[in-house]
Amino acid sequence: MYKSVRARSRALVCKARSARRDAGMVTSEYAMGIVAAVAFAVVLYKVVTSGQVSAELQSIVKQALDAQM
């Protein structure tokens, strides 16, 4: 019985150690996250600098600056 308890405890300890090593992201996951963030930023930049959106933003700013208190 002692041997089986000892074997089980070793298995649990080894499993816990391997789980700690796998905690967190690896470099490839960081790289994919960065690529996705850059792609989103490029799409957002293209939308904001498009003609119609740019004109709307300029009119909003102009209205805010011309506001009377």
SS (H, E, C) the chain: CHHHHHHHHHHHHHHHHHHHHCCCCCHHHHHHHHHHHHHHHHHHHHHHCCHHHHHHHHHHHHHHHCCCC
Look up residue 68 and give its two tokens: 């009377």
Average of per-residue pLDDT across 42-64: 89
**Is the pLDDT assigned to residue 67 strictly greater than 80?**
no
Reported as a single tens digit per residue, the pLDDT across 3-52 is: 777 777 777 666 655 555 556 667 888 899 999 999 999 999 998 888 88
**Of residues 69 and 29, more confidently modeled:** 29
Going from N- to C-terminal start, the domains of the chain cover 25-69
- Say how far apart CA 42 and CA 38 lie, in whole Å: 6
Residue 60 confidence (pLDDT) above 60: yes
